[in-house]
Structure 1
Amino acid sequence: NSDQKKGRCSDYKVRFQCPPEFCASTTPCSTTTTPCTTTTTPCSTTPPTTTTTTCATTTTPSSTTPPSGSWTQWFDRDNPSGPGDYETLSALHAEYPGKICAYPLQIQVLTTAWHPVSSTGDIIDTSDTVTGFICKNSLQTNGRCSNYQVRFQCPPEFCAPTTITTTTTPCSPITEPRLKPCIITRPSLSTIPLNTSWTQWFDRDNPSGTGDWETLAALHQQYPGKICAHPLQIQVLTTGGLPVSSTGNVIHKSDPLTGFVCKNSDQTKGKCSDFRVRFLCPSEFFAPNPDCWTQWFDRDDPAGSGDWETLRNLLEEYPGMICPNPVEIQAQTTAGHCVSTTGDVIHKSDTVTGFVCKNSDQQNNMCSDYRVRFRCPPKFCTRAPVCWTGWFNRDDPIGSGDWETLNELKRENPGKICPKPLQIEAQTTAGEPASSTGDVIYKYDTLRGFICKNCEQENKKCRDYKVRFLCPLDFCTPSRCYTEWFDRDDPSGSGDWETLFALQAEHPGRVCNRPVQIQVETVSGDSMASTGNIITTVDVTKGFICKNSAQLSGKCNDFRVRFLCPQEFCDQKVCWTRWFDRDDPLDSGDWELLCDLRKLYPNEICETPLYIDVVTVDTNSPITVTGQAFHM
């Protein structure tokens, strides 16, 4: 603290990069799920001494090795803002049905910061497998308990794993051992008929109008072919994953014939919660469609406003690799863990938008890092492979015409169009082929692109067109080794400076020495070209620079960048520890010393770390951008 101008350090957390072999024994498996499933995996299982690993195994940070057996996930349903922290078994059973066995063998308790109970000095009222855990504020000398989380050991059969081998298809070359399929949902119905399966979740309405109307007729119209004509059951949750009973809402309709209706006028607070629904259908409804899954995609990370794996952006960045209208979406963390195990509040997860997790919706202000894949119609996997780019619409006919020239499109969309396209296709923005519009087309080829001049038309105006290009197949299926997105600067000073040198210094080991390509977009996901900013520098040797002085408005947008690296950069095994935060700057400063961390978290840090990564706890800002003096 004495080194700082303001007299106090920020609160920091650290992690270490270790040799790959340090992580080899704890790497979680990548799990997959069947398109429609009736089973949930309530918890993770301690791995046996074989080559098979388990999904979402939790590492205990205390010095005591946890007993062998099957442990549930960690639960944190309460905080000490009221009379205390009440993590009772009865309340947890009600809130997380099917996730905890009826008669646990043991209970384990840690603070939400992963510190053992003994380190807090709190007086604990109850901690057993019958009641659960209770800490009362009234018993504490400072008048407040720490915030705790609990998990339970259950009999092995409660989490019995299975091994399933998937069939390789052109879109989904995945064969891997996995647990019983994990899906996002928490509750499951008590009685499910044989030979039935659940649809995906649907959220077509929100309560901003007269209420939340998830009616079967409207859902059939909006999602054709995705719900059977006569569902057997309906299941309803809030979009945050809570059961209807926990909301206190008065429900107008909830049945498999009508669907679900909640009217704002029926509620004491004047507004319904936002709900989602799914339906139980006969298995034959799903049987005709064999699995056609894409690969996993991870285009974004939560370093900015969240993790945005939107279908629109993925279709643009991976042309020809995703069908335009997927049947189903699956999401999991990049480590292969189910979404439900993270505790994150998910903003969107559907086949229209894709997947969105917002940092602002999370209690810790940070989403996990996710990846997604899509199930496509069977013909998408059996078609002859082609490589079309996404659609581009850079101009409109307001001026002299519609100029979708290849040179301009390449400049505005670096890396998204092959150097020498094989074919070009043009249609109106409404989807009508250019040949059927009656417009006189000035240029329409793979050398110049597409040009329609207003002066050549009878009514003196062209239609508004979009174009796409057919590329060699290897353009769509190269090894894609992208870094995460980086946003080290903002335009509050002289501009936005996302230089390669600074990024490599601030994020050691996370950017290759010689990138092949650079991609730039705003922190909200808009393209660089759409901003109208005058860009000073954008190349793979220097990075990205936008100067405020060059802009008409006097200020650049806030941008982020990522780099395409040689495949060997991604193939190298990287092993990072989790984040540690053992100290805060209340006294002399924030001391995250390696020797102290090793004592507090035995066996969690390798003997000789390769790199250290340091960021602030509240905003995840690298220490180099805080302006604080530090010793490291």
Structure 2
Amino acid sequence: MMIKWLGITIALLHAGNYVEASGNHAECWTRWYDRDNPSGVGDFEILSRLRLENPMEICPVPIQIEARTVSGDSVNSTGETINAFDTTTGFSCVNADQATGSCSDYEVRFQCPLNFCPLEECWTPWFDRDNPLGHGDFETLPDLHKEYPWEICDHPIKIEITTTSGDDVSSTGDVILAADTDVGFVCRNCDQPYGNCTDYQVRFLCPLEFCKPKVCTTPWYDQDDPTDAGDFELLQKLQFGNPNEICPFPLDIEVNTVAGNSLSSTGDVIAVVDATTGFICKNDHQKSGQCSDYKVRFICPNDFCKEQECWTPWLDRDDPSGAGDYETISKLRCNYPYKICQTPIQIEVQTVHGFSVASTGDIIQVADVNTGFICENYDQEDGTCADYRVRFKCPLNFCKPPVCWTEWFDVDDPNQQGDFEKISTIREQFPLRICDVPASIEARTKSGASVDSTGDVIIVADTVTGFICKNSDQKNGNCSDYEVRFECPIRFCHPNLCYTPWFNHDNPYGTGDFELLSDLKQYYPDICEHPVDIEVVTAYYDYPFMYTGQTPYKFSPTEGFACRNQDQTSKQCYDYKVRFGCLCEEW
């Protein structure tokens, strides 16, 4: 199976899969599987069960299935009646259908596309991040790591270099300064006897492990018991009950009993087990009349598990035609109001064409989150800076959709056991003053000091219980007096909001999914002039964007929503739809 992951086209590694010759052609076969024996109802080598018990070992669409007895005899030689024998279901033989009253014990294997079989080597794509128009051609590994994050292993085994037209380095006659797996590749124009360096491209050999798809696993879930109709561990209900824990489109599902035993060990007849629906075991399908109690977990793309980051768009307010290129944060704020958070965490700089600062050879005066970026022309050998752009990393909540905060609540004092600002008590005393599902909680002392400044040991501070500080946990025997507030969707603070229909104007098959307000207004002119809220969910299953693990490029009620494929670890956005919240009197 070929998977496009981080821009690298890779073949999955499958234990036991191999290529065998058949006439003049090579074929890719899985290993032989024997997961069942005919001691029960029959011999059931069902494809869905085999996938479950041997994840990532069988291709999504097998070309052919083969079966034989475990002693190596052909199916035909047994003379038995076979119930199913195909690449959709797998293989099944029912004892009751046989003259002898019992099936033989069978094993099966599947033929897959050739590219599903193991890789011998793991190579990155070819990279050409620089050209020799400046000081030379600098395909340095640190710059490549930065410009193509996650696409090159940390410690490459080998480097290959060719010209961008595919010729060997030796054919150019260029003097090469560096070509190794530590530095990467460097060709300097000043080292060449005749003009500039040729334009080169590089790729790296990585350990085979690097080419395996990066995935993550959710916790185990057991939301149902088999006491009624059966055990129903349904994906949508699990996603709803465990927000932000399960990706919208899992790659696979794993099932065990709550005691930790394998699914196959129970002998239960399973109605559904897949990553789209989840898991269903019905009691009336079982001989005993009762399913075992099961738990499930899901395999998700690495996008979903990676630490989320919030970056501004790339900003370019100046060019180097005057004294230099001044991308100072104060002037950027004037040119791009509300685009930069109050306290940026990090700054990134590159040329407007996407090349690194290092590749230009420019001397940089300043590049930090306090001042921004300054390159002055008189510092440069050739008298002029390159044209640069910058972006800033901000706290995650800067990229979140608009929210609002409740008033501060203080329902308890610490003069007894402690200060218990429980959300249940707050709801009783202040009905309808907190949204149903707060996004976060904030606490401070009654005098306005932060929790950290008190030094108190806090037992609980969450949106389920609320806030608890116990006097017995404190060195001085007494908690401070606290108050709390909760973060809610903006619609909670603006109950007079009216929402547009859902719009899905774009899909992610080009550079990303762009549901921009300016574009949508051309097709739907009835959208209000000044939306105050935006909601974004996946086009399928209505999965909220904030739980997908993907990185937004734009997320604003005044601009709309944009997801760029290049910003995602998997290099692919989901398909999203949006709607806008407008003040009802304006719409």
TM bucket by the smaller chain?
A: under 0.3
TM-score, with normalisation over the residues of structure 2? Answer: 0.25
Which structure is higher in strand share? Answer: 2
